[in-house]
Each structure stands twice: as structure tokens, then as C-alpha cells.
């Protein structure tokens, strides 16, 4: 502002001489034209290379990369929830006694003889009737499939077993919940012995729920209000959960229960279990031991990755968010929306009806599955931000050992609701009906996997600043200098404009300088005028 009359050229020169950006002063102050050209080109080249680098850096930042840290920690651990189900959903004898005609028509239970004499005898002769049903009852379905035995795999016909299971589930959901629970295997029969951390427990420590495939299932150490979860203070089988289960094989439904044993799910106590998709099987006559190792995963979420803590989500199944739960909910919602009825393999949403097994509904069901599979129907089900994974080392050994049989027998015989002498006295029956399960931590150390932002805004700015400094020696303040320079230019132009107007309106020249002065002192307000003009 030392000059009397700032012109555009002089402002430009002044900026060029005084700017803190490197290279520009050289170009401005030098007298030789080639040098000026050289420096100008150099500055422009450097600046454009910086822009290119800046773009790469911003792109890198916008990917929001994460670092994954794996740590081994050690502490007292919450024991996982253990859910056990009998492989058979309903007790056969109960079903015969109380089942509806629908079950008879589908061939799951024998039709009563015309004489009506069968009923009083049914209790005693179940094994016999059971075997006859296998042979006679499902003939309708067997006939249809046996012709196609040699068929290649083809998408249009269902396998007989698949149809059988589906029709059974369809019948099952028509019973009331309390009826289903009472028809299913009971916790006090199923769980003969329970031991946790060296202490006795019983079926009362288990929470019952109903699974569409496995009937009554029992969960140990489920998260309930007002109850503290059990913790493991020590590793090894002696400090884990140890169960003797009685699977009641003579109660198995001949047409549907193909395997004998128990289904076991080891899961996060806060999350609902899905025995059919997540569990493993334990066979009778064996001790199945599962040594656990915990991996606890925390994801960042937000911009860093797609995960959710489940807030504000509507879920079909109780307890906390899990991806499985969300997918089931989503599937059922699509079913209700498209087919107008609820899939029998999932819980029934309020105010809907279960699908029947008519052709159109089955086709619709198939269509929904296919569209979900190929992404035509979408489910917004990201993984959950906090996850616990239990790695299992499962091993089998024979149980009970020959010499231990008598010890087990004595223990079970004193029970009021034990398996009964019929089973206990026959070694073969015993091995077919009882199993032991040991679930324990292999070690109390666990792996934590956490995510942390790998490239944060301060790293981006640091890199940008570094690049800017490296190539053109500029800073933010240099950029502000540029801004100031632009403002100056704007003022000068504005003055010139008004000057011209004034000369045309024959105003005197002295006033111009005054307005100029006022203009510069009010440097901050002027640009606003300018933008308005533009």
C-alpha cells in the first residue's frame, strides 16, 4: 500500500515478489525472459504434480483403510451359552396318543385300526408299531421316489426326504406352542446329569425354547435379566460343563428322525442360537468333548466398514442382533410380503399365518429363496460390530468305558426320573440312548481382534502438507496470501470501474483516491460486493 495508485500490474508484481510460495519470486524478479519462462514452467509443473499426488492421497483417505490388531489377552472368561436339543423333535408315543388326523394322513403315525383295539396296547408295543410304520406308512412317498431313483440331479423334483421334513414342519406349526412343548422331549428326562465347574446343576438351570427342526431345545447360561452369567475360572474339562443326556431313542418318529443323538450349539449368551445351521452333533455311546477357544472381534463400523450394533432394528427372534437373526427376519418378511404367509422354518410374525404346503405356496417359497440367493431381493444384514467366535476342538471317545458302566448305572438308577431299568440293564440299549458331553475352555487366554483407523485426517493433512511443501513450498498461509492478492485485485478492478463511471458522469478525480482508500481499509467487505456484482 506504499504506492499511491495501486494498479493490477503492480499488485501482481508485489505479490510475486513477496509470496512465500517458492519459485514465483524467482520468476517475477529475474530480468532474463528464458529464466522467467523456466521458473514459471517449473512452478506449474511442480504444482500440477502436487495436485496429482493430493488426489491419490485423498482417494486413499476416502477408502477409510483399517488396521487389524490381534492380541492375546488373559482374564476370567464368561462361559458361553450351550444349547442342546434332541435330534428328534416330538415324542412318538405322545404323538400317537394325542396327534391329530393330519399326522396320520401324512403317515407320521399309524392309523388306528378299525377295531379300535390298538389304543390301549400302544404303549407296550411301540417298537413293533414303529417298525411297521417305517414299512407301510410312507409308502406313498416312497413309491413316487423309487421310480426316479436313477434320475440325474434335477431342479424340478424334490427329494422325498426334503418333502417329508417340510410337511412335518407344516403339521407341527399347526399345534399350539404349549402342545408342542409338552409333546417334545422334556428337560428333566433329557438332562440326566449336569455338572458345571465341579458343582451340581440340573435341568432347571436351562432355559427352554422351541426350534422348528429340533423341537424343545435347552440353553445353559443364557443371558437373562437379573442373573449373572457363569464364568470360567479355570481351563480344562473339570471346570467346564459336563452333561449326561438321555435321548429316548424309542420315542423317535420313524418317518422323520434319521439320526440319533443330540444337537449342540455353543454360542454367545446374548445371542439367539440357530441349532440347525450352527450346531454340531453328539452321538450316543460316546463322550463328545469340545475344547473351546474364544476369539473376540470388535469392528469399527461407520465409514470404516459395514457393521451394526443392531440398534433400531426389528428382529424376529429375541436377544441381541446377530447376522443370522437378521437374515431370518428378512427372509420371513419377504415371504409374508410376496407369498402372504410365513415360512414354517422360522418364527411366526404377529398377525400372519403359516404357509400350507399347496403347490402355489411351495413355488412362491422357492421363488423367494431364489431371489434372495441371486440378490434380486436384498437383506440389509451387515455383520455385527461385536462378535464372539468359539473355536471348537471336538473329539470323541467311547463312553462309558466298560469298567465304568456299573458306576454310571448306580448313579442313574437312584434317579426318580432316570431312563428306567429297561434301558439301564441292557448294555446295548444303554449305549444307544445315553451320551456324555464335555464343554470346556482349552485355555483362559483369548484372542481379541480389533480394528483401528489406519489413515486418519491428521495423516492425510500431514501428507498433503508434506507434498505441498516438497513441490511448491507452500502452506495454508501462502494460500491465504493468494486470497489476499485476489481481494486486492478485485478492489482495484472495482475502483477502476467506478472511476470510469465517474469520469463519464464528470465527477472530479480527487474523489477517486478517497474511495480507493476507503475501499482498501474495508478490505473484508468488498469481496462480498464483488460476488454480488458477478
Of residues 122-181, those binding another protein (CB under 8 A): 181
Q: Applying CB under 8 A, does 305 fall inside the site for another protein?
A: no
Query: Nearer to another protein by C-beta: 313 or 413?
Result: 413
Query: Nearer to another protein by C-beta: 283 or 377?
Result: 283
Q: Applying CB under 8 A, does 510 fall inside the site for another protein?
A: no
Of residues 38-77, those binding another protein (CB under 8 A): 67-72, 74-76
Q: Map grid coordinates 447376522 to a residue.
A: 323
Pairing of strands 191-196, 241-246: antiparallel
In whole angstroms, how close is the CB of 329 to another protein at the nearest point?
31
Pairing of strands 434-441, 286-298: parallel
Among candidate residues 455, 524, 428, the one with its CA nearest the CA of residue 484? 524
In whole angstroms, how close is the CB of 405 to another protein at the nearest point?
6
Strand order of the sheet with strand 81-86? 206-211, 215-220, 81-86, 262-267, 280-282
Residue 272 contacts residue 325 (beta carbons within 8 Å): yes
Q: Applying CB under 8 A, does 237 fall inside the site for another protein?
A: yes
Q: Applying CB under 8 A, does 410 fall inside the site for another protein?
A: yes
Of residues 192-211, those binding another protein (CB under 8 A): 194-196, 198-205
| Helix pair angle (139-146, 160-172), 10° resolution | 150
Q: Which residues pair with 134 in a beta bridge?
A: none
Query: Nearer to another protein by C-beta: 141 or 195?
Result: 195
* Alpha carbons 194 and 239: distance in angstroms, whole number: 12
C-alpha cell recorded at residue 100 = 391329530
Instruction: Single out the segment in contact with another protein by CB under 8 A; choices: 36-44, 305-313, 366-374, 440-448.
Output: 440-448
Considering only residues 85, 262, 385, 424, which one is a binding residue for another protein as defined by CB under 8 A?
A: 424
In whole angstroms, how close is the CB of 456 to another protein at the nearest point?
7
Of residues 9-38, those binding another protein (CB under 8 A): 18, 20
Query: Nearer to another protein by C-beta: 53 or 166?
Result: 53
Instruction: Single out the segment in contact with another protein by CB under 8 A; choices: 99-107, 307-315, 363-371, 520-528.
Output: 520-528
C-alpha cell recorded at residue 420 = 428306567
Task: With CB under 8 A as the rule, give the number of residues binding another protein.
Answer: 108
* Alpha carbons 495 and 487: distance in angstroms, whole number: 12
* Alpha carbons 259 and 465: distance in angstroms, whole number: 67
Query: Nearer to another protein by C-beta: 166 or 478?
Result: 478
Query: Nearer to another protein by C-beta: 305 or 418?
Result: 418
* Alpha carbons 485 and 20: distance in angstroms, whole number: 13
* Alpha carbons 291 and 241: distance in angstroms, whole number: 11
Instruction: Single out the segment in contact with another protein by CB under 8 A; choices: 40-48, 253-261, 330-338, 394-402.
Output: 394-402
Instruction: Single out the segment in contact with another protein by CB under 8 A; choices: 29-37, 150-158, 268-276, 452-460.
Output: 452-460
Residue 168, judged by CB atoms within 10 A of its CB (0-12, 13-18, 19+), counts as buried
Amino acid at each position: 500500500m506504499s504506492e499511491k495508485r495501486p494498479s493490477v500490474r503492480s499488485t501482481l508484481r508485489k505479490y510475486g515478489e513477496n509470496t512465500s510460495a517458492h519459485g514465483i519470486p524467482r520468476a517475477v524478479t529475474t530480468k532474463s525472459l528464458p529464466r522467467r519462462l523456466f521458473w514459471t514452467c517449473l512452478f506449474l509443473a511442480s504444482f500440477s504434480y502436487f495436485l496429482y499426488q493430493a488426489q491419490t492421497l485423498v482417494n486413499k483417505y476416502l477408502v477409510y483403510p483399517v488396521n487389524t490388531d490381534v492380541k492375546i489377552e488373559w482374564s476370567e472368561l464368561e462361559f458361553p451359552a450351550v444349547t442342546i436339543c434332541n435330534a428328534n423333535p416330538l415324542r412318538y408315543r405322545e404323538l400317537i396318543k394325542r396327534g391329530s388326523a393330519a399326522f396320520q394322513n401324512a403317515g407320521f403315525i399309524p392309523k388306528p385300526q378299525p377295531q379300535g383295539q390298538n389304543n390301549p396296547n400302544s404303549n407296550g408295543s411301540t417298537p413293533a408299531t414303529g417298525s411297521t410304520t417305517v414299512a407301510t406308512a410312507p409308502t406313498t412317498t416312497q413309491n413316487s421316489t423309487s421310480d426316479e431313483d436313477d434320475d440325474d440331479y434335477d431342479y424340478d423334483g424334490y427329494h422325498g426326504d426334503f418333502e417329508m421334513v417340510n410337511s412335518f414342519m407344516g403339521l407341527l406349526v399347526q399345534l399350539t406352542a404349549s402342545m408342542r412343548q409338552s409333546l417334545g422331549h422334556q428337560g428333566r428326562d433329557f438332562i440326566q446329569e449336569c455338572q458345571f465347574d465341579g458343582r451340581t446343576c440340573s435341568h432347571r438351570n436351562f432355559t427352554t425354547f422351541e426350534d422348528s427342526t429340533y423341537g424343545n431345545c435347552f440353553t445353559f447360561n443364557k443371558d437373562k435379566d437379573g442373573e449373572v452369567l457363569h464364568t470360567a475360572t479355570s481351563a480344562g474339562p473339570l471346570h467346564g460343563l459336563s452333561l449326561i443326556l438321555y435321548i429316548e431313542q424309542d420315542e423317535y418318529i420313524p418317518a422323520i428322525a434319521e439320526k440319533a443323538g443330540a444337537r449342540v450349539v455353543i454360542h454367545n449368551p446374548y445371542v439367539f442360537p440357530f441349532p440347525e445351521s450352527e450346531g454340531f452333533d453328539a452321538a450316543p455311546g460316546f463322550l463328545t468333548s469340545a475344547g473351546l477357544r474364544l476369539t473376540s472381534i470388535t469392528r469399527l463400523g461407520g465409514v470404516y466398514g459395514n457393521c451394526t450394533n443392531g440398534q433400531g432394528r426389528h428382529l424376529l427372534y429375541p436377544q441381541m442382533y446377530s447376522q443370522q437373526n437378521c437374515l431370518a427376519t428378512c427372509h420371513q418378511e419377504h415371504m409374508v410380503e410376496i407369498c402372504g404367509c410365513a415360512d414354517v422354518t422360522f418364527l411366526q410374525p404377529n398377525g400372519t399365518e403359516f404357509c400350507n404346503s399347496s403347490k402355489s405356496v411351495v413355488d412362491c417359497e422357492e421363488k423367494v429363496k431364489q431371489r434372495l440367493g441371486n440378490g434380486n431381493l436384498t437383506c440389509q444384514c451387515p455383520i455385527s460390530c461385536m462378535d464372539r467366535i468359539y473355536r471348537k476342538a471336538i473329539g470323541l471317545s467311547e463312553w462309558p468305558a466298560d469298567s465304568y458302566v456299573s458306576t454310571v448305572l448306580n448313579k442313574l438308577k437312584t434317579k426318580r426320573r432316570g431312563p428306567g431299568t429297561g434301558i439301564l440293564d441292557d448294555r446295548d440299549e444303554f449305549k444307544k440312548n445315553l451320551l456324555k458331553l464335555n464343554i470346556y475352555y482349552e485355555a483362559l487366554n483369548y484372542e481379541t481382534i480389533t480394528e483401528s483407523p489406519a489413515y486418519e485426517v491428521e495423516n492425510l493433512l500431514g501428507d498433503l502438507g508434506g507434498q505441498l511443501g516438497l513441490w511448491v513450498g507452500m502452506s495454508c498461509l501462502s494460500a491465504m496470501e493468494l486470497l489476499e492478492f485476489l481481494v486486492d485485485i478485485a478492489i482495484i478492478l472495482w475502483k477502476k470501474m467506478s472511476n470510469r463511471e465517474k469520469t463519464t458522469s464528470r465527477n472530479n478525480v480527487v474523489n477517486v483516491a478517497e474511495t480507493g482508500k476507503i475501499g482498501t481499509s474495508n478490505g473484508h467487505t468488498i469481496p462480498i460486493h464483488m460476488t454480488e456484482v458477478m
